[in-house]
Amino acid sequence: MNSIESIKRSMVENVRLLDKYSNNHSVGTLYLTVTHLIFVDPNGKKQIWVLNTHIASVEKLPLSTTGSPLLIKFKHFLVVTFVIAKERDCHDVYLTLLKLSSPASIEDLYCFNYQDPWPQHLGWNVFNTQREFQRQGVPNEEWSLSYLNTSYELCDTYPRYLYVPTTCTSNVLVESARFRSKGRLPVLTYLYENKAAICRCSQPLSGFNARCPEDEQMLYNVLCTNRNAKYIYVVDTRPRINAMANRAAGKGYENENFYDNIKFKFFGIENIHVMRASLSKLIDLQKSTSMSSFLTGLESCGWLKHIKSILETAWFIAQAVSNGITVVVHCSDGWDRTAQVCSLASLLLDPFYRTIQGFQILIEKDWLSFGHKFSDRYGYVVGDSKEQAPIFTQFIDATYQLLQQFPYAFQFNEVFLLTLHDHVHSCQYGTFIGNCEKDRQRFGLTERTYSLWGYLTKHLNEYTNPLYGRNASKEEMNAVMQPKLAPQSITLWRGLYYRFENGVHPRETLEDLLLTTHDHTTSMEDHVKLLIKRMNSLGQLVSMNAVQKKDENVKFDTNMKEFLSEKIINVEGDEDTFNEILKTNQIEDEMKAVALDWKSSRNISECTCSITFDVFNRKYHCWSCGNVFCTRCMGVHKALVGHVTKKAVPTCKICSRNPSISSPTRT
C-alpha cells in the first residue's frame, strides 16, 4: 500500500470546485488520504469520495487570477477541476496524487489492506472450471480434460485445466501450442446443446508460407467433435489489413489451402490503440457546449461503431453455433477481442449467463481464467500507458446494449454493470488483479484479499432486475438472443460515460422507481409468509391448550412438552422449535421489524445526516424502518426476523442495533 509518506499535503482549505454549467462553484476542503481523495464543503452537505486508484490522469493547468487549476480525470469518467489558491499547494497535491494513483508494485494495491465485515472466503468459490464445463456436458466422448497445463508449462496465460478434442495426442497439443502466439492453442470455451462449440486461441505463427501439421491436425480434430457439420468457421476478429501486417512479422492467420474443411472469416474489430483513442475522444465530449459539436464528436470518435462491430461478430458466432457449426475464434494473442466476442456469443446462446451468478461465471471463465490482461489494460501499477485499453469496458457496454434491447431476459440491472465496471478499476477487491490465472495464484489473492463476488452477494437486492422473466414464456427466456444491430439500435450509455454530469439525469429514473417498488413488495410478501407461518403456530398452540384440558393428569411442564410433541404432528424440529411456537409476543416484535410503509425518495434531497443526495451519495431504503439514508448512514446487511427467507437486507445503523433484528446472516 502507498505509505503515508507519499502524502506531501493531506489537507488544503478554500479549494474551489468548478461547475462548468454555471458560476455556482463549490468552495470547500480537499483531503488526501492513503486510499481516497475527498472534497467536503463547509457545511458538510456536499461530499465527494473517490478512490485514488480511480484516478486516470492529473494535469496542472495554466495559472488563473483565482489560483492554480488542477484537472483530474477518473477511470469511471468523472472529470473535475479544482482551483487551489496557492501554486505551491497545488504542486504538492499534484505530486501526491501522481504517487497515490500509480503504485509501484502489485503488492501496494488497495485490496491487500482493505477490510470488510464479512468472511474473506466469501465469493471465491463462485467459479470452478470443471464444475462449469460439467454444466455444459463436458467431458464426453468428443471432449476430454487435458492435464498438460497443470503447472502452466504448455501455456502460462491459460488455465490449468483445458478441454480439448479426445482424439488429440499430447504431441499435437504441444506442437500446436508452439505454433500459436504466446502458446495459446485452440481449446474449448463453450459447448452448445447441439454439440457445436466455441473454441478460442491466438493467431498462428504462419508468416507467408510456414505451416504446422500438428496444428492442422488440431483443427481437424475440433471439426470431428461435431459429427453434424462438414466444416468449421475460423473467425479472425481483426481487420484484414491488420492480419496482413502481422503476417509480414511472421505471424498472421490460417491458410485455407493447408487447413481442410475450414471457412475463414475476417471481422473488423480494431486494436487496443484505436479503442483507447476512441474512448478518450468520447470522454472529451463532456466539454461540448452545443448539440452540433456533440453529435459531430460522437460520430468522429467511433465508439458506437466499435460496440456495433463487437456485437456483430458475437452474433455471427452465436448464429453459426446455434445452426450446428463449430467456430474457432482468435485475434492477435487471443486475450482481448477474442474474450469480448466469445463471452458475448455465449451470453446470446445460454440464458444461464444472463443470471447474476451465471454472468459472474462467464467473466471468470472467459476473462479471468483464460487470461485477459487486466493489470496492464487498466494500469493498476506504473507501466507502459500504451498497454492500456478499455476492452472490458466495451464488453460491459455491449452487455448494456443487450439489456436495453431485452429488459426481461437479464436477472441483473444497469447498476450491476456500473458496479462491475467501477470495481475493475478500483483495486478494492482482488478479483481482477493480475493478467492471468497463474498471476492470481502467485499473488495468493484468494487468501489475502476479498472477492468482488462476495460484495455483490451481500448486496443482491441492489442489482436485481425487477423485470426479469416478466411477461416472457420459458421458450422466450431460453431462446437464442438475436441483438438488434441497426445503427439506431446502438445507443450511447449516458449512465456510464456521463453519469457525473449535473442536470443530465432526472432526480429518479424509472429503473430506480421500479427497483424500489420491487424491493418494498418483496419485503411485504416475505412478511406475509412469516405471519401466516406464525398464525399456524398459534393454531397449534390453541390445540395444545385443548389437549391439556382433556387430560388433567398431564401438567404443563417439561413432561407436557414431551407429551404434546407426540400429539402435534405438524411441529417440525426439536425443543427449540417448540419454544419458538410458545413465543406469541414475538409476533408484535416482528411486525415492527419490517417497514410496511416506505417513504418516497422522489422528494427527499438530503439524508438525516444533512448529506445532499447526488451521484456520489445514492439513496438507500432501510427495509426495517422504511426511511431513506445515504451510504454512510446505512448499517450492515442484516437478516430481518420478519423475513421468512432469512435473507440479508439493507438496514440503517439505528435499525441494525435494534434487538428485534437478528444478527447478520451469511448468504
Q: For 421-471, how does the pLDDT look when each residue is reduced to its tens digit (9 = 90+)?
A: 999 999 999 999 999 999 999 999 999 999 999 999 988 888 999 889 887
For the purposes of burial, counting CB atoms within 10 Å of the CB of 600, is it exposed (0-12), middle (13-18) or buried (19 or more)?
A: exposed
What average pLDDT does the structure give for the chain?
87
In tens, the pLDDT along 81-134 reads 999 999 999 999 999 999 999 899 999 999 999 998 889 999 999 999 999 999
Q: CATH 2.30.29.30: which residues of the chain?
A: 4-102
List Cα–Cα distances, 542 to 539, 553, 581, 582, in angstroms.
5, 19, 11, 10
Q: Indicate the pLDDT class of residue 630, thresholds 50, 70 and 90.
A: confident
Percent of the chain with pLDDT over 70: 83
Tell me, what amino acid is at 287? Answer: K
**Would you say 234 and 262 are in contact if contact means Cβ atoms under 8 Å apart?**
yes
Beta strand pairing call for 11-17 and 79-84: antiparallel
Give CA–CA dist 587/532, Å, rounded. 11
List Cα–Cα distances, 376 to 372, 385, 391, 425, in angstroms.
9, 8, 11, 11
Q: How would you label 20-59 residue by residue, b for 16+ Cβ within 10 Å and e otherwise?
A: eeeeeebebebbbebbbbbbbbeeebbbbbbbbbbbbebe
Pick from 35, 30, 61: nearest CA to 48: 30
Helices (H), ranges, 117-169? 129-135
List Cα–Cα distances, 589 to 390, 462, 640, in angstroms.
51, 26, 11
Summary count for the chain: helices (H), strands (E) = 24, 18
- Structure-model confidence comparison of residues 608 and 62, the more confident one: 62
Give CA–CA dist 535/586, Å, rounded. 12
For the purposes of burial, counting CB atoms within 10 Å of the CB of 414, is it exposed (0-12), middle (13-18) or buried (19 or more)?
A: buried
> DSSP strand E in 105-237: where?
143-146, 162-165, 187-191, 197-200, 232-236
Secondary structure (3-state) at 71: strand
Catalytic residue among 90, 111, 199, 331: 331
Give CA–CA dist 545/568, Å, rounded. 12
Helices (H), ranges, 370-509? 374-377, 391-405, 414-426, 437-443, 445-448, 452-458, 460-463, 474-478, 494-497
Give CA–CA dist 57/39, Å, rounded. 18
- Look at domain 4-102 and name its CATH class: mainly beta
Q: Which CATH number is 510-656 given?
A: 3.30.40.10
**Would you say 540 and 578 are in contact if contact means Cβ atoms under 8 Å apart?**
no
90 is catalytic: no
Say how many residues make up the chain.
667
Least confident residue range of 349-363, 587-601, 604-618? 587-601
In tens, the pLDDT along 565-583 reads 544 444 444 555 555 554 5
Give CA–CA dist 201/186, Å, rounded. 4
Count Cβ atoms below 10 Å from residue 334 Cβ, excluding itself: 29
Q: Indicate the pLDDT class of residue 635, thresholds 50, 70 and 90.
A: confident
Radius of gyration (Cα) for the chain, nearest Å? 29
Least confident residue range of 21-30, 176-185, 208-217? 21-30
Give CA–CA dist 381/369, Å, rounded. 21
Q: CATH 3.30.40.10: which residues of the chain?
A: 510-656
